[in-house]
Amino acid sequence: MIYLDNNATTKVDPKVLEAMLPYFKEEYANPSSIYDFAKHSNHAVKEARGVMKDFFNAENEKEIIFTSCGSESANTAIRGVLNMNRNKRHIITTKVEHPCVLNLYGALEKEGYKVDYIGVNSNGELDLAQLEETVNDDTALVSVMYANNETGVVFPIEKISQIIKSKNKETKFYVDAVQVTGKLKIDVQKLGVDMMGISGHKFHAPKGIGALYVNSKTLITPLIIGGHQERGKRAGTENVPYIVGMAKAAELATDSLKYEATEIKRLRDKLESNILKNVFNARLNAGIVNRVPNTTNIGFEYIEGELILLHLSDLGICASSGSACTSGSLEPSHVLRAMNVPFTAIHGSIRFSLSKFTTEKEIDYVCEKMPSIIEKLTNISPYQDELEALKRLKH
Amino acid sequence: MWDYSEKVIDHYRNPRNVGKIDNADAIGEAGSLACGDSLKIYLKIKDGIVTDAKFQTFGCGSAVASSSILTEMIIGKSVEEVKKITNKDIADELGGLPPEKMHCSVMGYEALEDALKNYDDYTDLDDLRNEQANNEKKEKIVCTCFNVTENMIWDAIKVNGLKTVEEVTNYTKAGGACGRCKSAIQDIIDTYYKKELSENTLSPAQKIIKINNIIENQISPELRKDGGDITLVDIRDNKVLVKLRGRCSGCKNSHMTLKVFVETTLRDTVDKKIEVIEVQN
């Protein structure tokens, strides 16, 4: 099997699993208990919090909240900060956010909030001028993803933070950083963000664990109310093994950042340029802009994405698609639509996302198989005249 | 991931009859590139028999499989037989499709219908059968996102017995994007079932058979679970005379059983005016 869907989820690093196991077996104590037996698990959570502080480059360990996933991080931050500023009713986000955030804003609109959605250009870059115009005195929150999950396009978070704060110092800034963990170095202080959410399973920790950074100047109400855990910001007995696992994954991710930026980027570029060169109806869905090193999104004109994925799957290759058919929704990707990807290509868009476990041999295999799969499917298409014209244009 | 049947998988992996027929006798199209799936079907017809069929499809696995199996289903059949094929037949032939993918079978049906409409000798049977129903109003586009007409929704409800807006979306795509037409779809569903119930098209003999079948296959097994049973004694207009047996006879709740369970089931499935009466001996 060749797994090129690492933006969906990643393989748990064996070292992560190893670090977790003692906390399933011997060290099962509740970290809040007072006997000696609980000391190890208590220390493990403290240590993990320290690792995550460094991972975010936060100022203080108290700024780290462990959650169960990226969606919980986002919900806690967004609802939490709005609850603390009830007199402000304006929110700004982007048209290309992850559904976990977009659907939350949809719900908030129904609750009476005004939400503005900032657009992107055909390269996937955010319209910063529109953002600047939109921030006003009533703006409680701006939320922007660090990198887009479908295209890998990285947004200039530091610059966006400056724009927001120059217009309204009190506006809080939430960053969904789920897609940059393990791919780019995170530095919340340099970026100037108030809150940032991440998810463990996107960087080789297991599913079911996430983290939220909330700087000490930002007050939030908890989403889950109950015990005193996470300093009252998130009730529920600490998920010790998973917290330990995510911290281990964060350490490993920091160690492999350079590998990500060079080797994984090289493999991604190889895959991308090969396909674009050898498949006449392939086009890159993003411009030559700042992207995370592991992601490429390629549209195949006049063929449908699910059909491509099924044929890739027959060869053991896992990728994903922005096509409507794969998701069960009837509309293609909101991200690609916001980028105005032509409708000839939007339904045939495929995302490949690599990881540190991807090998050159695997990439070579995909490069070798891709042209024949696309050729087979192109022959089924009813748009033979258009395809013929495209072919002539390309040569 | 979709749970596709083996037949669907076989047909998208190895689609049959791909391509176009030069000088075809009938060509039909359905769907569009913008909507994410489209299909072109080419027919060769000789002496009223479909002698060859080919297709070209832009769409997902189930769209290709639906088109592919459709060509197999129609080659060698008479035009009269081909006209009777519905989207349900296509889905059944494939060993079923996931609910969200039923619109692929509908697209196959629509392309076939379009081809036959374009075929010279073809007279629209539906028009003859349903002259009144097929008025202009039904060509009205209900879902502007996916260009779905009232007629298409009506047909899908009729052939597949659809009852909810969600089902209509799965079969026709209507309402699947902006969702603004959802209330209009609900209206069509309501109108359809109101009409179906009021028309009461069953002949007296059909009605008796239907009531008997429902008592035997739906109602009786339920009562038997509780140690009782029911027999049909007679049907006079809308009065259904039954005899309760076993533990049901003499049970304090037998009146409730009759009114709430037996009568409601028969009213829902056969006729709203049905009244169930218990007879002794």
Same domain, A249 and A267: no
pLDDT digits (tens, 9 = 90+) for B254-266: 777 777 788 888 8
Read off the pLDDT of residues A216-258 as tens digits, 9 standing for 90 and up: 999 999 999 999 999 999 999 999 999 999 999 999 999 999 9
pLDDT at B217: 86
| Domain end call among A255, A277, A299 | A255
pLDDT-based confidence at A195, cuts 50/70/90?
very high
Say whether B59 and A304 touch across the interface (CB within 8 A). Answer: yes
CATH 3.90.1010.10 fits B6-122, yes or no: yes
A-chain CB neighbours of B177 within 8 Å are 330-331
Residue B215 has pLDDT above 80, yes or no: yes
B211 contact partners, CB below 8 Å, separation of at least 6: B232, B235, B240, B266, B270, B274
Contact criterion met (CB < 8 Å) for B61 and A379: no
Q: Is the pTM for the entire model greater than 0.90?
A: no
**CATH class given for the domain over B204-278:** alpha beta
Band the pLDDT of B281: cuts 50, 70, 90: low
Q: How far is CA B247 from the centre of its chain?
A: 39
Which residues on chain A are in Cβ contact (under 8 Å) with B101? 325
B196 Cα to chain A: minimum distance (Å): 30
How long a stretch of residues is chain B? 281
Alpha-carbon distance B173 to nearest alpha carbon in chain A (angstroms): 7
Cβ atoms of B57 and A303 closer than 8 Å? no
Confidence of residue B137 (pLDDT cuts 50, 70, 90): very low
pLDDT tens-digit profile of B12-37?
999 999 999 999 999 999 998 888 88
Q: What is the ipTM of this complex?
A: 0.89
SS (H, E, C) chain B: CCCCCHHHHHHHHCCCCECCCCCCCEEEEEEECCCCEEEEEEEEEECCEEEEEEEEEECCHHHHHHHHHHHHHHCCCEHHHHHCCCHHHHHHHCCCCCHHHHHHHHHHHHHHHHHHHHCCCCCCHHHHHCCCCCCHHHHCEEECCCCEEHHHHHHHHHHHCCCCHHHHHHHHCCCCCCCCCHHHHHHHHHHHHHHHHHHCCCCHHHHHHHHHHHHHHHHHHHHHHCCEEEEEEEEECCEEEEEEEECCCCCCCHHHHHHHHHHHHHHHHCCCCCEEEECCC
> CA-to-CA distance for A162 and A156, rounded, in angstroms?
10
- A6, part of any domain: no
CA distance A230 to chain B (A): 37
Whether residue A4 is contained in a domain is answered as no
Active site residue A325: yes
A107 Cβ partners below 8 Å, 6+ apart?
none
CB-CB under 8 Å, A383 with B60? no
User: Which value, in Å, is the radius of gyration of the alpha carbons in chain A?
Assistant: 22
Residues across chain A: 395
d(CA A348, CA A343): 9
Helix, strand, coil percentages in chain A from 3-state DSSP, rounded to 5: 45, 15, 35
Same domain flag for A276 and A143: no
Structural domain harbouring A298: 257-394
Nearest CA in chain A to B1: A326
SS (H, E, C) A136-158: CCCEEEEEEECECCCCCEECCHH
- pLDDT single digits (tens) A43-77: 999 999 999 999 999 999 999 999 999 999 999 99
Indicate whether A237 and A338 sit together in one domain. Answer: no
| Identified catalytic residue from A69, A100, A318, A325 | A325
| B275, B238 Cβ separation under 8 angstroms | yes
CATH number assigned to the domain comprising residue A328? 3.90.1150.10
**Neighboring chain A residues of B176 at a CB cutoff of 8 Å:** 329-331
Residue in B12, B34, B146 closest to A343 by CB: B34
For chain B, give the longest Cα–Cα distance.
75
Nearest neighbour of A381 by CB, restricted to B29, B56, B177? B56
Question: Do A89 and A208 fall into the same domain?
Answer: yes
Question: Is A381 in Cβ contact with B169 (below 8 Å)?
Answer: no
pLDDT of residue B136: 47
Could you report the per-residue pLDDT of B47-95, keeping only the tens digit for each? 999 999 999 999 999 999 999 999 999 999 999 999 999 999 999 999 9
Same domain, A269 and A251: no
Fold category of B127-199 in CATH: Arc Repressor Mutant, subunit A (1.10.10)
Residue ranges matching CATH 3.90.1010.10 in chain B = 6-122
Interface touch A330/B40, C-beta < 8 Å:
no
Q: Is a pLDDT exceeding 80 seen at residue B197?
A: no
Instruction: Give a yes or no: residue A3 inside a domain.
Output: no
pLDDT at A324 over 70: no
